[in-house]
A and B are shown apart, each in its own frame.
Chain A
């Protein structure tokens, strides 16, 4: 009986958690593209190599990739040059002087020795049409409309910035606006359902082809006496990537499914987003 109890106690103690022989499949190293093609700006992206999840290595950028950007410009393709921009990661940025244009299609091809070639096709959306903007300097509310193009999916990102291009926090009671950085909720002294962040996203599913009114509020006084309302028209991939990235940050871990960052890279990982900005100056 005593032996049986000892055996039982041993079995119980050994049963909770243990290391097991289990081989997580290795997908092999791949090229990772990270960046955004923004209308009116030159190209600047990060390139790195993925590492196996069970290895001790860390993914880093390097200057050994060959990256070419294709478009309908006669000078295409544009070769991107590696430039060291930081002493920390991301250390290298791949740049080109070619200025991105809205409404155009682009293809980025990246290759490196011993790695499969990665490529992305993306189109830069047309600029958003913003109209009927009214700013109430007492309440700090900004009311405006976005006129949406019909027959196609459109995605928008709304930000506020000052002359030095610093982000200015905004808030809204609009439940359809997605604030991905953070929300303020329980514990807020006078909670009225208002949500806050430095950017808000929205898809045009419910108002496709029509105008939609927005009401946002500037939350932090800008460093200058004027600020900008920026409405970005963004590609679907960029929108999906931002949504999944926010979900990745906010995931409940064990109690929710793991979040896969959205990628539009064929043969590799990462994101090459596309955006066109409409800025309106507002006197604070």
Chain B
């Protein structure tokens, strides 16, 4: 099926190539110094609306009739360049190198990528690493997900955590792609840090709605994170020393202008610092670490290979040794050891191939694995008896995938994207491994508490970016997906996607979109705080896939000579077949997970978003505002009545500002405000016959998520002092998290004193937290 489809599209593409009546200007856009390809560069003909943007691999293609043109290429942080071209009787290959702006403060020169006004794609925001690094850091650690949380339509969960909730959806409905590979758990340290090391990242792109047909598999958002490729010309390094972690990135050519590498590592050192203070015979520690690797090889102008790998780990461990323990009769020795760890492995191998000036392809092979494990081991030996017992509980999801994407620039009116994808999933949502030995006799047993599931997940898509007229653009497509599990559950879904843009004036556009999305994987979470214990599970014969419909309308306007952009959007989304733990269910279930969930959930989310953004000049940043509702309904929860979603938040405001006072000093500020999170609390106590017919007092709770915590607000500040040195550049950063030390609620609970008086207590996590870090670059 897949082969037939690919053959068809290739034949179609080839035939279309011969039908050309215009000529093609195509090429790659790259950084002039590092030769790293640049994503999202705006390329247009001066004095016209004809243009395009470079794709994920820096490739662009424009169809032009014979004549003389000036092509303009612009991207934020780079000098805009103009090239005179002349098209006569053949296609033109034009690779463009953009020179990075270094400490350039001239307001006129700094320009942006394609303006929101011009894009047909709505509900999408691109952030560069440079922008993210200007946002004040928490404990000195620049975090991509924290930056994402500051965008309208995106909500943070609990205080300090890096889970994100897009347009009323849950965290599992966000597809996080690192170089095209799904990352299943993007959190370190129970969600306080994300797994993405900003030094290794080139670009971040978030799509909240109006999904193009090439995206699938999640209901609420797609977060594309692209790793840097590595400098093809010279060796470079950068790093930072912070209070809790340090990181170092090194990149450079293996074969100049042909092959490059980048390696980046990060590690916390609480465990190392605490070691001297841990009593003898005990060992306790926690750390997290990340490793990013990428190789980039140019085979020819038409072929390029990328290989990337990511590994992240969190590890808690505790070990206690004892000798002559009186509990064992005073003799012998032994130890108790327990641990908790989780982590992701992702790998991608990508092959870019340019069939001709109009047809670009990318083949990606992917691997992704997330594993959570908790275990303990006990050993004892007194010379007569030797015993050892161990227990491990783990859950795991593992994917192998292959994806082929093609882009065909039929002409300036039609740009086609089509492709196919196949992923093989292995789900092992709960496995207990028990090992016991006594005087050399061993008993091992492995028990799948939930049935392991193997699943085949495939889709094909076709989309057309159609410039109907100078003012009207349309992106329409179809996404067809299929899912087959080894318990013979088969699901398939045809998902139409459409987005359109109409330009009222050159600086003001109206946009609308509609998308059906389908999701075959679910995340079982009973805390909502991003614990590693959350289980990824498959759709099965009993548990159907989630699906959603989303409609959005919006407007984008450029203001004051494109210095400012104002975007507004309203959306309405329905979600079906949502799952949720049954009331009181636990993550370590003694039965198959399918017995512990409610499977008939519905959801609705609607709201209004406003983004006022300034990308040019000494002062940059944005103000975002979201007015939103998000509700759920399950027949066995809350008496079957609709209830607010856990992170239903009526108002959400974020202010993000950066001002560059001079070449050597800049200040970043963020201020966030959010309506308090929902919670459920006891409102009454009742007496009912309990066990043995004795009267027992039970708590009667409010409606599910029927109460609100106090509002959340916080201001962060970041100060950066930069200095050029003989070896490169160094930056001192001082960040202050929660400047006015607001006690934001993490959770509320009712306490009781000895007299039986009851009070509401609020637990907050983070008061004012200043931090300092030292960053260097050479």
Contacts and interface: CB of A to CB of B under 8 A. Distances in A.
A26 B683 CA distance: 6
A224 interface: no
A183 B590 contact: yes
A247 B582 contact: yes
A247 B585 CA distance: 7
B590 A195 contact: yes
A54 B758 contact: yes
A280 B582 CA distance: 33
A30 B765 CA distance: 37
Given A24-B707, A53-B750, A89-B695, 17 more contacts: A12-B767, A14-B743, A15-B741, A16-B765, A20-B760, A24-B702, A27-B700, A51-B684, A53-B681, A53-B758, A90-B695, A175-B591, A191-B447, A247-B582, A252-B586, A259-B583, A259-B701
A207 to B, nearest CB: 14
26 contacts: A12-B767, A16-B767, A18-B743, A20-B710, A20-B748, A22-B710, A24-B760, A26-B683, A32-B686, A34-B687, A34-B689, A46-B687, A51-B684, A53-B685, A56-B756, A56-B758, A59-B686, A89-B695, A243-B582, A256-B526, A256-B585, A256-B586, A257-B583, A259-B584, A260-B701, A269-B684
Given A176-B595, A252-B526, A256-B526, A54 B750 contact: yes
A240 interface: yes
Contacts of A59: 685-687, 697
A115 B688 CA distance: 18
A35 B257 CA distance: 81
A60 interface: yes
A25 B679 CA distance: 13
Interface of B: 391, 432, 434, 447, 526-527, 531, 581-587, 590-592, 595, 636, 638-639, 680-689, 693-695, 697-702, 704, 707, 710, 741, 743, 747-748, 750-751, 755-768, 770
A195 B590 CA distance: 9
A212 to B, nearest CB: 16
Given A11-B768, A183-B590, A252-B526, A270 B686 contact: yes
Contacts of A270: 686, 688
Interface string A115-139: 0000000000000000000000000
A16 B764 contact: yes
A13 B636 CA distance: 43
Contacts of A60: 687
A257 B700 contact: no
Contacts of B681: 24, 53, 258
Contacts of B759: 19
B526 A46 contact: no
A50 interface: yes
Nearest to B688: A34
A154 interface: no
* Interface size range on A against B: 35 or more
A50 B700 contact: yes
Contacts of A24: 681-683, 702, 707, 750, 760
B694 A53 contact: no
B700 A269 contact: yes
Contacts of A34: 687-689
Given A11-B741, A50-B685, A248-B698, A16 B526 contact: no
A269 B686 contact: yes
From B697, B710, B755, residue with most partner A Cβ within 10 Å: B697
A149 B759 CA distance: 51
A61 B741 contact: no
Contacts, number: 197
Given A11-B768, A18-B761, A90 B684 contact: no
A247 B768 CA distance: 39
B584 A32 contact: no
A163 B570 CA distance: 68
Nearest to A25: B683
Contacts of B585: 247, 256
Nearest to A27: B683
A15 B766 contact: yes
A193 interface: yes
A284 interface: no
A15 B714 CA distance: 13
Contacts of A175: 591-592, 595
Contacts of A255: 526-527, 531, 586-587
A270 B690 CA distance: 12
A30 B447 CA distance: 48
A53 B767 contact: no
A122 to B, nearest CB: 16
Contacts of B526: 252, 255-257
A260 B583 contact: yes
B760 A90 contact: no
Contacts of B592: 175
B680 A258 contact: yes
Nearest to B391: A186
Contacts of B767: 11-12, 14-16
A63 interface: no
Nearest to A12: B767
B446 to A, nearest CB: 12
A50 B587 CA distance: 32
Contacts of B434: 186, 191
Contacts of A26: 683
Interface string A213-257: 000000000000000000000000000100111111011101111
A52 B684 contact: yes
B251 to A, nearest CB: 39
Nearest to B527: A255
Nearest to B584: A247
A142 interface: no
A110 interface: no
B763 to A, nearest CB: 5
Contacts of A58: 685, 687, 697
From B682, B689, B761, residue with most partner A Cβ within 10 Å: B689
A16 B697 contact: no
A164 interface: no
A22 B582 CA distance: 29
Given A24-B707, A27-B684, A59-B686, A256 B581 contact: yes
From B693, B695, B707, B758, residue with most partner A Cβ within 10 Å: B695
B687 A17 contact: no
B688 A271 contact: yes
A161 interface: no
Given A59-B686, A244-B583, A20 B762 contact: yes
